[in-house]
Amino acid sequence: MTVHLRGAMTAGDIAGRFAHAWPTTTRHLRVLVDAGLLRHERQGRNHVYAVDQARLVLLTEWLGWFDRSPSG
């Protein structure tokens, strides 16, 4: 599978970018799917993940709230 920064990636492609064990990657991916930040689908033997852009926008807006001054 071709790896795109903003496209879908297999679990193996994602895991290959980090220096920790495979179970750690799969646990983190599951948390992100459960939170609605990643979409997951199975393509044959591969698990393919993609960022849910709409949910990411909501998260970005919410995190921006912490950067605002208390006075607004």
Report domain extents, the chain.
9-67
The CATH number that domain 9-67 falls under is 1.10.10.10
> What's the mean pLDDT in 45-57?
90
Size (the chain), residues: 72
Distance of alpha carbon 37 from alpha carbon 30, whole angstroms: 10
The per-residue pLDDT for 5 is: 54
pTM: 0.71
The per-residue pLDDT for 58 is: 86
Burial 43-58 (b: 16+ CB within 10 A, else e): eeeebbbebbeeeeee
